[in-house]
Amino acid sequence: MTFIIKPLSSDILDDWLYFFEEIGFADNPDWSGCYCRFYHFKGSNKEWEKQSKEENRKASTELIRSGEMHGFLAYSENKPVGWCNINSRENFAKTLYENDSPDSQEKKIAGIVCFLIAHTNRRRGIARELLRYAISYYKDKDYDIIESYPRTGELSDAHSYRGPISLYKSEGFTIHKEFENLLIMRKYLK
């Protein structure tokens, strides 16, 4: 299976919406209302729970059109089959890192907060291709580090949306910090 990967932009907004509404959550419709907005949402978690699918769709569309939401959409046979939400850490309203050392604060760091692969295309290397593309892309953009936040333990496909630890290790990420239910893993690009 061959893939084409495109950076998120207004030009592929319709494909991105189609992926979220028709493909990405076919096996998990309860999560279909997020539109990958959670980490961009400035309110509390309690306020987040009150957000409607329509509000999230509209807000994410605006974030894409303004260039504030980044990521990559994977295609196979001209259909979107996978998504990776990666952005400069500073562009996320919610973060999974804390107490950065002073040397980290001086570096350009991108964070991966979500992978969504069509259930009919999982375990075919799409997440790996998206990750490799992201590494190359952010290296070319002169970033110092890419960070990921995988959960630990036995997880369903849905709960592995931050990507599996094994994927990150195989692409040269190492554990930066450990928490009870998640890791912060980093790949240094310089």
CATH number where 129 lies: 3.40.630.30
Q: What tokens appear for 162 in the block?
A: 């931050």
pLDDT on residue 170: 96
- Amino acid letter, residue 78: N
Is residue 165 within 8 A of residue 176, CB to CB? The reply is no
Number of neighbours of residue 73 by Cβ within 10 angstroms: 21
Q: Does residue 122 carry a pLDDT above 70?
A: yes
Q: In terms of residue numbers, what domain contains 103?
A: 4-188
Q: What is the pTM of this model?
A: 0.91
Tokens for 64?
Answer: 């894409």
- For the chain, what is the domain count? 1
Distance between CA 3 and CA 82 in Å, rounded?
A: 10
Residue that wins the pLDDT comparison between 29 and 158: 29
pLDDT of residue 101: 55
Calpha distance 78→4 (Å, rounded): 8
> What average pLDDT does the structure give for the chain?
89
Assess whether pLDDT exceeds 70 at residue 84.
yes
Q: Which tens digit of pLDDT belongs to each residue from 127-169?
A: 999 999 999 999 999 999 999 999 887 766 666 788 999 999 9
Mean per-residue pLDDT for 160-187?
92
Helices (H), the chain: 13-18, 45-48, 53-66, 102-105, 126-140, 165-170
pLDDT (0 to 100) of residue 97: 60
- Smallest CA-to-CA distance from 131 within 119, 147, 118, 155 is with 147
